[in-house]
Amino acid sequence: MLRSTVIILWIVCSIQAISLVSLQKQSPFQIDSESITRQDFDIWLSEQKDIAFKNILKNIGGISPSLNTTLVPEGVVIASPSSEHPNYFYQWVRDSALTIRSLIYHLDDSKFDDLEISKTIEAYIANNHKLQRLPNLSGSFDDDYSGLGEPKFHADLTAFNEHWGRPQRDGPGLRASTITSYLNVLEKYGKNPSHKDLSDCKYVYSEIIKPDLLYIVKNWNKSGFDLWEEIDSNHFFTSITSLRAIQDGIILYKRYDNEDDQFFQQLESTYTELKNFIENDSGFQQQHIPYIVECPQLLKEGKRSGLDAATLLGSLHSHSLENKNLQQVYEDIPFDIDDSHIINSFRAMVADMKYRYPVNRFRTGFGVGLGRYPEDIYDGYATSEGNPWFISTASASEILYKIVFKLNSNGDDLVITKSTKEFFSQFIDLQDSIEDVVIQYGSEEYEKVTLNLMEYADSFLAVIKDHVDNSGRMSEQFNKYDGFMQGAEDLTWSYSAVWNCIRWRGKALAIL
């Protein structure tokens, strides 16, 4: 933890007359000397980006210096090396797909000049061909692809046959979109897969991506467990990431297939129906609620507000600003990062969690640590009280960097409407105008909003800086009272989310 946070803690402890002994409590990973440079934000960012990437690789079989490939074969992404209290030593379809995306971005950034990484990605793809076909408690491959809804497997590529929240229907779409991104990168650099089990791109499409798409076609309107594995219902994250996968499928079909008319029609009608579901029938959008309701059933039952970091993650992972072409491909998918519902989900999360989590109270006016959802009671080991998470905090920050990037790279005017006014009034004086305000691209005001947004985004990364340990390591959560990390150590997804965020900061800065 950063010294200033320690000082704040000191004040809190003094006020509450708590023994200063509590300040001696060490983060489980604390080492003797400070090895990261917290006092200089820019230096910290570049160190932390590097540390995050190295720690992603440490959790992937084959490329990891510390994992035994008998237990964790090449290309297998474990969620965390923690095998007890809690046991996250498994491969989740979702966590793996999202983590591999970071590797794909890195590979593209390197102009496909990192063969160890492409080898790892291809091993991941080949493993998933096996996982798809493993009979499991969600079902099997032959039985209508129902086994593709299985959320997690043992690290050694065998089925996990114990009680769990299953099926989780986001897995097939996330995996299909991740592998699509890899095929796109191969195309871009004129490459072919080199893994012995992946003969060519068309094979990857028809044997691995297509079954996942068929799963979505058959199951998109059924209930399933959410990304937090708790609630069997309809979920925004699942629906929006599945819609992206179907869009990916439509493009891949034209590139590699063109023979299976019936399948193409299924993709097109699923796209239309799922989009209509998301926009109209699901209840994700409701008339008097400015934010996305992640799980409408829970709102209806009076159990939750609907606010959830899953909404921010869903928006981020169903769109792309990697290049103009991809931006266009996903343009028709609703709820991009600059949509008023996403912006208001962000705003409402901040408004809630700023006071919900005591560690945030001293950060008045700036970024705060964000958790999963206000009603959360999972503390990383069992149920007690929810805490801020690295994934949520980094994703919020990434959204802000992407808003800046999208506006400035397109040279768009910033149009502030009634529904985004409250958010943008933090960055520019909007007086009491009731009409839409248009801030012209290139104007002085535009630059001011841009810089203020960047500063605001940075202030969320600064929260992360204050809560990582002295080696830049990250667990799942940080305690809402004392700020020390807890939950699964070295959570792969934490590293991936923070790496993505720092990468987007760089991309936004580069175009300003």
> Among residues 206 and 233, whose Cβ is nearest to ligand NAG?
233
- Using CB under 6 A, pick the residue from 136, 177, 311, 392 that binds ligand NAG: 136
Q: Which is nearer to ligand NAG, 339 or 445 (CB)?
A: 339
For residues 146 and 219, what is the distance between their CA atoms, to the nearest angstrom?
A: 9
Virtual torsion, Cα 233, 239, 242, 243, nearest 10 deg: 160
Nearer to ligand NAG, 139 or 374 (CB): 139
Residue 235 or 275: the one with the smaller Cβ distance to ligand NAG is: 275
Q: Which helix (H) or strand (E) holds 152?
A: strand 152-154
CA–CA dist 422, 351 (Å, integer) = 12
206 binds ligand NAG (CB under 6 A): no
In the range 67-106, which residues lie near ligand NAG by CB under 6 A?
Answer: 68, 70-71
Contact residue for ligand NAG among 37, 140, 305, 452 (CB under 6 A): 140
What is the closest distance, in whole angstroms, from the C-beta atom of residue 368 to ligand NAG in the complex?
Answer: 35
What does the chain come to in residues? 512
Give 65's DSSP letter: S
Q: Quick one: the chain helix, strand, coil %, rounded to 5?
A: 50, 5, 40
58 contacts 103 by C-beta, under 8 angstroms: no
* Interface with ligand NAG (CB under 6 A), residue from 6, 12, 137, 299: 137
The distance of closest approach from Cβ of residue 157 to ligand NAG in the complex, given in angstroms and rounded to an integer, is 12
Identified catalytic residue from 109, 114, 229, 257? 229
Q: What is the contact mask toward ligand NAG in residues 392 to 421, using x (rule: CB under 6 A)?
A: ------------------------------
Which one among 22, 26, 35, 161 touches ligand NAG, defined by CB under 6 A? 161
Output 62 or 135, the one with its CB closest to ligand NAG: 135
Cα separation, 279 vs 132, in Å, equals: 30
Residue from 38, 169, 275, 480 binding ligand NAG (CB under 6 A): 275
Whether the CB-CB separation of 294 and 350 falls below 8 Å is answered with no
The site that binds ligand NAG (CB under 6 A) totals a number of residues, namely: 16
54 to 66, 74, 172, 373, 472: CA distances (angstroms): 12, 16, 27, 29, 11
**Residue 233 touches ligand NAG, criterion: CB under 6 A:** no
Does 139 participate in binding ligand NAG (rule CB under 6 A)? Answer: yes
Which residue, 139 or 283, has its beta carbon nearer to ligand NAG? Answer: 139
Q: Does 332 interact with ligand NAG (rule: CB under 6 A)?
A: no
Distance of CA 369 to the CA centre of its chain: 16
Draw the binding track, 212-231, toward ligand NAG (x: CB under 6 A; -: no contact): ---------x----------
Here the contacts of 317-325 (C-beta below 8 Å, separation 24 or greater) are 317/98, 317/101, 317/174, 317/177, 317/241, 317/244, 318/240, 318/241, 318/243, 318/244, 319/244, 321/402, 321/405, 321/406, 321/409, 321/507, 322/105, 322/108
Is residue 159 involved in binding ligand NAG (CB under 6 A)? yes
Sequence-ordered list of residues with C-beta below 8 angstroms from that of 58, at least 6 positions apart, any chain? 64, 65, 66, 67, 81, 490
Calculate the CA dihedral of residues 192, 198, 199, 201 and round it to 10 degrees: -50
CB of 27 to ligand NAG, least distance (A): 29
Peptide bond into 135 cis (omega under 30): no
Beta-carbon neighbour count of residue 365 at 10 Å? 9
268 among known catalytic residues? no
Question: Among 95, 226, 336, 490, which one carries the catalytic annotation?
Answer: 226
**Least CB distance from residue 393 to ligand NAG, whole Å?**
32
433 binds ligand NAG (CB under 6 A): no
CA atoms of 440 and 450, how far apart (whole Å): 12
CB of 280 to ligand NAG, least distance (A): 4
Rounded Cα distance between 238 and 243, Å, is 9
Q: Any catalytic annotation for residue 229? A: yes
Q: Is the dihedral of CA 458, 459, 465, 467 positive or negative?
A: negative
135 binds ligand NAG (CB under 6 A): yes
* 241 lies in the binding site for ligand NAG (CB under 6 A): no
Nearer Cβ to ligand NAG (161/323): 161
| Residues 475, 486 contacting (CB under 8 angstroms) | yes
Which of the residues 279 through 318 are near ligand NAG (CB under 6 A)? 279-280
| Site for ligand NAG contains 62 (CB under 6 A) | no
156 touches ligand NAG by CB under 6 A: no
Residues serving a catalytic function are 226, 229
> For binding to ligand NAG (CB under 6 A), which residues are involved?
68, 70-71, 135-137, 139-140, 143, 159, 161, 221, 275-276, 279-280
